[in-house]
Structure 1
């Protein structure tokens, strides 16, 4: 009884300081694991049945449609397919102890034998009562108990605990009584007083709050362990779509990362510009929109020349002069015709006067038609419209770029190199989905004022995965070589300290983070030169999700 009272007072003491109650004892459901170069198997025991998950060892991909035969303590049995897992009725798991199992897995042409041990813990039993707990205590025990109680009361009095202010006087009187009785060797009375004191203090302690009790809680969920590793059950791995690869060390060409931009192939692109300033007007069908396909020679727009005030004044003056010359020439022709009949004017003079009159009239007509003739803007090549700067009524200055026509199947990359290493003929970039786009070196320029050397790369595929003007990172090979583990770029993530880390699949349901040092390899992969050993199963899909588990 005294021990129970002390435990209650101790629990009250922890709560008074604002501490959180101790966490319960967390454990997972009983499980058996097995692995081979082909498969990885986890069997979880619950509700008199085994839930079996089967994955490929190297990639962690679920294996569906397999046949799993199990040698159990009660004889052979065959697991049934249950969605993405397998189920086996196992009433024998209610018996505690170690159960040896043998799984025979048949998946297509692959057959494997996986031995495992399933350990069922015994049911928890209440602790046995210590001998002598109901007997009398010795004088030394009573003295130790009294000291402990007085120490607790004194600490509460220093914190002005209201409950203990009243206990202070009672405790002092009771303590004096105990000490006096012990001096007179009345042990039984001393024990009774001590029990009264402890029980009274426990009553005050339990009046405020009850001590939290912890029990065993089964939490078969993904969580971060105390040592930093991540426990992820197979069910959680299926939801997170965790995939792995077995790292192998090989020699690769060293690469450099260069900033670049997608440009059009100069031999497969063209600009539509205005030769003279004027007002834009649409052809039949309207202006072609962005991305529209056009053919070479197709009329894309018209431009009506617009004249300034000084030009219009000069034209009107020229028209007046021409009208005057036409009138004089017309009268001269009429006079020459009359004189030609009498022979005073030769036929040659008459023809010259008529020719002069015809020329003046053509010049005059050309001035009248100058404002009516519009310039046609035609496509120089066949392709798609990458730039459109046309609207009805827009005034365009001379040399204005109205349309830019490109061939999307022929694009280049313009990159800048700030180092002095020689660039090889092959390079690559990554598309939006993480795929690899190969490049071919076309030409190298000279370093400019910024000490950057321009490089042009031709895209080897049709260029549908990138767009014009897009900023990219070019990974270009050099003549040097490096040895390491090639992994996808998504496998390397940023750790809490800012360094690069990867997750390694150490056990069927356990993952461990590793700090690594990487170098660029190509547009889709990086080279791990330190931190991971050959044969480790590196997580290539979903490492950022594992890193978020707490």
Structure 2
């Protein structure tokens, strides 16, 4: 509304504009005639916009002359961020029991953990009968250990009169009983420690202190910060063997390395796989399940006009257009075909000729003038 008010303020001014030498189509034809255009400021009957120089400066309208260049062709693929096998770990208990938090408390999702850090404990709990039976067995073993130790001490006190063979047998028996006691004690008295296998950000799968859990349950997941997979799909199967590197339309700072493609087509689309290692801390994080757009160069080149992505807007028919400055105060929309080069650049491959002065800043504001 502010833009419309600015244009309306000059509604009674008469403007004369003629086509500039650079205002031409892709085949050299003039986009506008050189007759005088007389009318109100703002949108004209032919779709052009008349805007005084002071208003252009206030709205930050900037232009540049474009020239044709040869660049590598790119393909655009829809993708989803997945966890990398090397940077994804699950923490599961090996037996049923009750979860006990460590001294630091139950870790919540989003916390950073280090490899080897204790995330909690699982106290084994059996039926009352089995528990009583195992406790009884443990007491028997401990009594046998005590008796064997007394026998060993008695033989040692005899000195040279003691039978060396009998002493060796008792010491071996004592060692076996001690190992049996440790095994029973581990199952009955000492909880199972849950340890982080890798460092990263933790995901708590709704685990609470004292909760009954079953063996094999995914209690926690750990995601490394610097490893991600991106699974994408494309119908351009002819280029599958020529892919190598790629970027994301949403975040050009993230660099992707090509892993390979699936040998099976699903729904007419091939699945291709990329990985990201060493994510830039300054870049927006890649979240698991996040939809992304992958831009990958292929082994072919195209001729086109490279422009900032903000130079491209949509007209009332939802077609992509750029705005050409045809005179000091007159702008004309031009429908184009383009390809995306990255987060901040496009290449126009049809609909626009070289040496035109194209609006590169403020095109969205200019496009709103009515």
Q: TM-score, normalised by structure 2?
A: 0.71
Q: Deviations over 1:147-183 (max 9, x none)?
A: xxxxxxxxxxxxxxxxxxxxxxxxxxxxxxxxxxxxx
Residue of 312, 322, 339 corresponding to 1:502: 322
After the TM superposition, which residues 467-486 of structure 1 pair with which residues of structure 2 at under 5 Å, given as runs?
467-469=286-288, 470-486=290-306
SS, match of residue 104 in structure 2: coil
Q: Alpha carbons of 1:358 and 1:291: their partners in 2 closer, same or farther (altered >3 Å)?
A: closer
Q: Alpha carbons of 1:28 and 1:472: their partners in 2 closer, same or farther (altered >3 Å)?
A: same
In 1, the alpha carbon distance for the partners of 2:75 and 2:69 equals 18
SS, match of residue 287 in structure 2: coil
1:517 equivalent to 2:337? Answer yes
After the TM superposition, which residues 58-457 of structure 1 pair with which residues of structure 2 at under 5 Å, given as runs?
223-299=42-118, 301-309=119-127, 312-320=128-136, 367=184, 370-382=187-199, 384-389=200-205, 390-422=207-239, 423-431=242-250, 435=252, 437-450=254-267, 452-457=269-274
In terms of mean alpha carbon deviation, does 435-444 or 491-500 score higher? 435-444
The answer as to whether partners of 1:265 and 1:412 remain within 8 angstroms in 2 is yes
Look at both structures and tell me which one has the larger radius of gyration over its CA atoms: 1
Count, aligned residues: 329
In 2, the alpha carbon distance for the partners of 1:233 and 1:388 equals 60
The answer as to whether partners of 2:138 and 2:181 remain within 8 angstroms in 1 is yes
What is the CA distance between 1:249 and its match in structure 2? 1.3
Q: Alpha carbons of 1:238 and 1:437: their partners in 2 closer, same or farther (altered >3 Å)?
A: farther
Q: Alpha carbons of 1:447 and 1:316: their partners in 2 closer, same or farther (altered >3 Å)?
A: same
Q: TM-score, normalised by structure 1?
A: 0.50
In 1, the alpha carbon distance for the partners of 2:57 and 2:112 equals 45
Q: Alpha carbons of 1:504 and 1:328: their partners in 2 closer, same or farther (altered >3 Å)?
A: closer
Q: Alpha carbons of 1:549 and 1:446: their partners in 2 closer, same or farther (altered >3 Å)?
A: same
SS, match of residue 366 in structure 2: helix
In terms of mean alpha carbon deviation, does 288-297 or 478-487 score higher? 288-297
In 2, the alpha carbon distance for the partners of 1:328 and 1:531 equals 94
What is the CA distance between 1:505 and its match in structure 2? 1.9
Q: Deviations over 1:291-318 (max 9, x none)?
A: 443332222x222234343xx4223234
Q: Alpha carbons of 1:368 and 1:442: their partners in 2 closer, same or farther (altered >3 Å)?
A: closer
Higher RCO structure, 1 or 2 (CA under 8 Å, sep 6+)? 2
1:27 equivalent to 2:12? Answer yes
SS, match of residue 370 in structure 1: helix
The answer as to whether partners of 2:148 and 2:174 remain within 8 angstroms in 1 is no
CA RMSD of aligned residues (A): 4.2
Q: Deviations over 1:406-429 (max 9, x none)?
A: 442343422223332223323221
The answer as to whether partners of 1:258 and 1:415 remain within 8 angstroms in 2 is yes
The answer as to whether partners of 1:253 and 1:521 remain within 8 angstroms in 2 is no
1:533 equivalent to 2:350? Answer no
What is the CA distance between 1:385 and its match in structure 2? 0.6
In terms of mean alpha carbon deviation, does 454-463 or 523-532 score higher? 454-463
Q: Deviations over 1:264-317 (max 9, x none)?
A: 443344333333333333222234444443332222x222234343xx422323
Structure with more helix by fraction: 1
The answer as to whether partners of 2:100 and 2:123 remain within 8 angstroms in 1 is no
